[in-house]
Structure formats: structure tokens, C-alpha cells
Structure 1
């Protein structure tokens, strides 16, 4: 009876130390499962071999940036498309510790994952005031579908960390700290620049101005808000300045995207048409498409303007490059899985446990697909 009460108390009101232990335990269990799948599926035996097996695809570009920096001229798919903060952090860690690049990237990603969980919990408690939903969301993020992206040498975990911090400090009206988080976000991934729209719609809802004039006056009278918002694109601007000095083209990170598109023209409909040509004959693809449409409908039901706008933007952005990356963009935008959590909280607890179990099993399948270098997950 006491143990049952203890579990109930943890679910509804965990202490700080309990929360920290729970998050750390989930990360360790998830990464251990990833390693054991590597041992079982690829007959691997060493941790370094595991790291080399999971740090593939875009990870190779980050490794090149860590060791050689950015090239002065493009050769096929240049590393200009990849923003600098994550590889810069890896380089600093490797230089200070002598650690190899794969291990440094793995540790940095998992530390960022841990911090993002803390701030996501704080944000949910600030906006939903529901510890049970916060724990459900954290379990879904770490153990559920696409959680493995936060352990590999991709920018997902670092971006998610700064994004969760940005949302939290925006909600707390700490606009300068929000701006710093936004600047670090845009130094990590170019999509971070769209966070300004989340700020805009958050502010519109907050002040409830009765006229456009009142909105302008109240907005620009809040110097911290204005300065914090203006700080958001700073990370991207600094990268553009570096590319300008290096190549003469501050938008090299945009122009080089053509090399990644292969024979696909940019734009949502062109990307979808190519995906249909490649996968249209397979039933799973149409299930994937239906799932994406359901996610879009779900995002439109979000009550908070900032979350709804941010979610829809991040639903649209991946279509400009390829449908294969859609799932990881949605995974790290916070609001997609938070919206799903909102819906799941309407169900009884036993059904939420079933959902988490199904998501965890699906994650194991995705881990195997990643180890098999399935190109759709890139």
C-alpha cells in the first residue's frame, strides 16, 4: 500500500531529486537498449563500434566541421548547410579532454537531452500545471518514437534544449534570457529563426490589444521584449558573417541545399511528388502520409497561439527538402508531442501506459532501421 502511494505521489508531484533520477534513468535505459540492439543486430561488441554505427549520415558532416572547419569552396554536398554551434562544442570538448569525436558528440547530445527534459518539465508545469502530463511527455520524448535522435551526433538534442529553454523563459517573461536561448538556437539550426513567430503570437495573446496602435505602443514600450526578440536571429547572422568572409556568400547555407535535393525541385508539392514516385506503391507510405495529416489537424487544436503557430511552421518546413526528415523535425519542435500528450491525458492512465509501451516498441524498430542505414530516417 505504501509503495502504491509512493508511486502515486511521484506521478502527481515528484520531488526535484526524483525527477532528476527519473530522467537520467530513462536516458540510460534508452541508450543501453540502443547499444544492445547494435550487439544483437550487427554482432557488434565494442562501444566505439556502436558510436561509429550510429553516427552516420549528417554526422559525417559534423565530424568534418570539427576536424577541418568549413571549406572555402563547395564540393558536391558541402558542410555549409550545417550550423556551427554543435560541432564547435564538440571541438572544444575534444581539445580540452582528448576525447574522440564520436564519444564527445554522444555525451554532449545526451547532456543536452537531459537539460531539455528539465526545461520541458518546467514549461509544462508553467502552462499545464500537470506533473503527470509532464512525466508522460518526458517519457514519450526519451523512450518513444525518434528519441534516439537525441543520442547521436546530430543537432537535435542541443536544438531541443535551447528551444525548451526559450519557451520556458518566454512564458516567465524573462525576455532577455529568452533572446540568448534564441540566439544559441539559431546558431544550432537555421529553423530556430522562426521562433520569432512564436514570440509574436505569444505576445499578441498576452496583451490582448484592442487596436493595432495599442499593440505597437505596448510592444515597443517593452524594451526587454524587443531586444530579446531581436537577439533570436543573432546566431544565424554570425554564421552568415563567417560564410561571407569565407566564401563571399552569406547565404551559402541556403544555396548549397540544392546539392542535397538531388533531382527534386524545392517546394512542398515537388517533394511530395518525388516521395510518391519512390514509395507510392508501398502501403506504409500512405499510412505515414495519413499520420502527418492527422498531426497537422492535431496541431491546429492547440489552445496556445505560440504553440499552434510554431507547430504548424515546423510541420511545413521539412516539406521544402524531403519527407524523410519530417519525423525528426516534428519530434524536436516540442509542441507536436506536447499536443499528443494533451490528447492522451483525456484517456485513462492504463491506456496512456499502453500508448507509451507501443511507442517504445516502435522506437526499437526505428533504432534497428537506423543501424541498417535506412535512408528514410535521414
Structure 2
């Protein structure tokens, strides 16, 4: 009895933001797969209908004339837009680089390698790409539901997933022949494995993410930081009288264990890609150098968005100008969520989000594609979801408006409009 009284009076340190949850909200039973897959499937049907309408009922963009008789018919034709042709070329012929012109080395290898590895099962590379994207999008939905369940209650977790699935630029998760769905699925999966204290598997999955997109470099660093942060939080939790560690103390590398070192495998993705470019073409950073041929070389004109200001001056109401401004506002909005992400999920996730958004801000001359890149900043959806739970009417309106915007974007993409 005395021991029980002594233990009950022992001071316990209050949980700090980002602490591993004591009672994680793990989905259990069949619902851990069924709910996210049903939600993903319902939105996917709507997006595919939108793509079909845009492809069959609207006048096509001049770059994409109708192609009767292609494999997959009109249901798949609408997904064959823009960068899809670069990925098809890589799958068919491998990588090439020509000085002074746009080249396939701008596209990272995880996605085309995966498409190539399963292309035997489908009648065309385009169909293979759409199926790979669809599968990765479903995987991202499942992984996100499990990841957010480590931090938030069920209502907030479901809201997070809903916001993610109806995000207006999220049509890239449902069939577009782009690498984004694979990148997002691998990234969330790697962080989930870190939260489940499986750093080795997190490193292995991280290889896929870091070889999928330039933002993979941010993923590798953030995975390591999150492992360190968790170890320091756990160590502080063992000292009941200790205050919550500050941001610098959270990243004390001395807390790492030997079993944590496999998380460093995540750096192998970008390392292998740079090594290949160095051996094959003589430039380990060729993926960045070639961006100059898209008019997005590093420099003040890109960093300070000179083109956007010119568009606002010369054609402020043009669709392209409005699209660039909207994507810029979304990026700024994501930055505004970083302090909340830090408070709620930890410094590593805040720095990860800052890195993903920062790359989009400094790497594009006009914010173009920024809306698409934000799909990878998945903590933003969780940070936005939690306050919406206590405001059901606002949540319903926001989700409905986002779903309508997603459908409209799918229709536009289906006709070949360059959106992101």
C-alpha cells in the first residue's frame, strides 16, 4: 500500500507537443484498411468521371488532340497529359541528356522504374502509369490514416484524410502519370514506420521517396531528425522532474542508438541517383542544372517571382495568372501552418513541412506546380483538420468546396489544361 501511495504522488512530466502518444489511435480490425480505401475509392470514381468528361465533352488543348483507338480508350486518354510523355520516354528508352535543351534527367527514377517493372501486366505504358499512381494513391490514404492516428483522435484523423483526398490538386493521386502519388505514399509510410519505432524499415521505404522527387532530400533529413527527436523525448520522459526539452535539446544526436542507424539508408535514394548522373553524364547535380532549360534556373528572377509580377501587370485576369497566384497563396498558407505543426506533431515535422514548401517557393519561377508539391506536405492536412472538428458546419462547407474544386480541376486536366 505504501508503495502505491508513493508512486501515485510521484510528479509526472506533462506531455510535450510531438511526444510519442501514450495511447495511440491505431485503427483496429478491418476498418484500418476499409475506411481509407472506401473514402479513396469514392473520390477516385468522381475524379475519373471528371477526367472522362474533360476528355470527351470539351475541346482539347492544342497539345493533346483526340487519339481514337488508343489503348484504354477515352477513360485512360485523359490521364495522358504533359509530363506523362516524359515518363513514357524514360520507361522505354532510359535517361538522356542534351546540352541546352529540356531532357529526361530532370525526372527522378523511382516512379519510372516501378512503372517499367510492372508494365508487362498492362497493354500500354500509359495505362501502367495510371494503375501505379492509383495504387500508390490508395496506399498513401491508408498510410496517412495510420500516421495521423498516432497523434489525433479518430474524428480528427478522418477529417485529415478527407481534406487530403479532396484537395483540389489531389487528382495527381488518382491516375495522372506523375511521380507524386508514389512520393507521397513512400514519404508517409517512412514516417509512419519511424513512429512505430522501426527505423530500419523506415530507411528502406525512405529510399523510394528520396529517389522519387527533389523533395526527397528533405525527407531523408527529416526522418533522421524525427528519430533523434523521439529518442530525446523518450529520455526526458524517464526523468519525471525534467522539463520538456527545447528545440536544440530535442536534436541532441547522443540519444541515438545503434539500432537507429539504418534510418540513414534513406539517403541512399538521392545518393544513388546523383552517382548515376555523375557516372553517366559527368554531373551529379544534373537534375538541378537541367532546370535552366525550363526557364527555372537558380537566381533572383526565380526566387523573387519576377514573372508573376509581370503577369499581374500585363494580364492580371488571365487564367494562368490567377492559377499562379492561387498556388502562391496555398504555399504561403502552408507556411502559416508550420508553427501549429511544430506544437502539435514536433519540430521534425515542422522542419519537414518548411523544407517541402521552401523548395516549392524557391524552385519555381511563378509558383507553377506549387499546388501539386503541397500534396507531399501531409502534416498540413492534419494541422488544418484538428480545429475543424469543433466546427462541423465550417468543415462541411470547406470539404464540399474543395471537392467541387477537385472535380473542376479533373475536368480541366482531362481536356489537357496545364494546371500544375
* TM-score interval, smaller chain: 0.7 to 0.9
Taking a change above 3 Å as real, the CA distance of residues 120 and 329 of structure 1, as seen in their structure-2 partners, is same
Give the superposition deviation at 1:122.
0.4
Partner Cα separation in structure 2 for residue 78 and residue 268 of structure 1 = 22
Normalization by structure 2: what TM-score?
0.77
Match of 1:248 in 2: 282
1:216 aligns with 2:223: no
Query: Residue 107 in 1 paired to residue 131 in 2?
Result: yes
| Alignment match, 2:117 | 92
Query: Is contact 2:97-2:105 (8 Å) kept?
Result: no
Confirm whether residue 234 of structure 1 aligns to residue 268 of structure 2: yes
1:140-166 per-position Cα deviation (integer Å, ceiling 9, x unaligned):
222331121112000011001101101
- Between the aligned partners of 1:213 and 1:327, the Cα distance in structure 2 is 31
CA contact 1:149–1:328 (8 Å) conserved in 2? yes
For residues 154-179 of structure 1, give each alpha carbon's deviation from its aligned partner in whole angstroms, at most 9, with x where no partner exists.
00110011011011111111101110
Query: How far is the alpha carbon of 1:72 from its aligned partner?
Result: 5.3
- Find the partner of 1:69 among 94, 97, 110: 94
TM-score, length of structure 1 as denominator length: 0.85
3-state SS of 1:224 partner: helix
In 1: Cα distance, 2:274 partner to 2:190 partner: 22
CA displacement at 1:257 relative to structure 2? 1.4
Structure 2 gaps, min length 5: 1-26, 61-65, 237-244
Separation in 2, partners of 1:234, 1:287: 35
2:202 alignment counterpart: 178
Aligned residues: 360
2:333 to 279, 294, 297: 294
CA contact (8 A) 1:268 1:319 kept: no
Deviation at 1:251, TM superposition (A): 1.9
Among 144, 161, 177, the alignment partner of 1:153 is 177
CA root-mean-square deviation: 2.9
- Cα deviation, 1:81-131, whole Å, max 9, x if unaligned, reads 11111111111222x225201110000000000111111000011111x22
Determine the C-alpha separation between the residues in 1 that align with 2:273 and 2:377: 22
Q: Does 1:132 align with 2:155?
A: yes
Structure 2 partner of 1:4: none
Return 292-301 or 171-180, whichever deviates more: 292-301
**Bigger relative contact order, structure 1 or 2 (CA pairs below 8 A, ≥6 apart):** 2
Correspondence for 2:11 = none
Residue 273 (str. 1) matches residue 316 (str. 2): no
Instruction: Tell whether the 8 Å contact from 1:265 to 1:271 is kept in structure 2 after alignment.
Output: no
Judging changes above 3 Å, is the alpha-carbon distance between structure 1 residues 131 and 33 closer, same or farther for their aligned structure 2 residues?
farther
Greater helix fraction, Structure 1 or Structure 2: 1
Once residues 256 and 77 of structure 1 are traced to their aligned partners in structure 2, the CA distance between those partners, rounded to angstroms, is 7
Closer/same/farther in 2, CA of residues 307 and 235 from structure 1, 3 Å limit: same
Partner SS state of residue 177, structure 2? coil
2:47·2:410 contact (CA, 8 Å) conserved in 1?
no
**Which residue of 2 is the match for residue 352 of structure 1?**
395
Aligned to 1:301, what secondary structure does the other structure show? helix
Between the aligned partners of 2:93 and 2:110, the Cα distance in structure 1 is 15
Task: Indicate conservation of the 8 Å contact 1:184/1:235, yes or no.
Answer: yes
On the 8 A contact 1:93/1:99 being kept in 2, the answer is: no
CA deviation after TM superposition for structure 1 residue 213, in Å: 12
Structure of higher CA gyration radius: 2
Per-residue deviation, residues 172-228 of structure 1 (Å, max 9, x unmatched):
111011101111111111211112332344345431477879933322xx1232231
3-state SS, counterpart of residue 127 of structure 1: coil
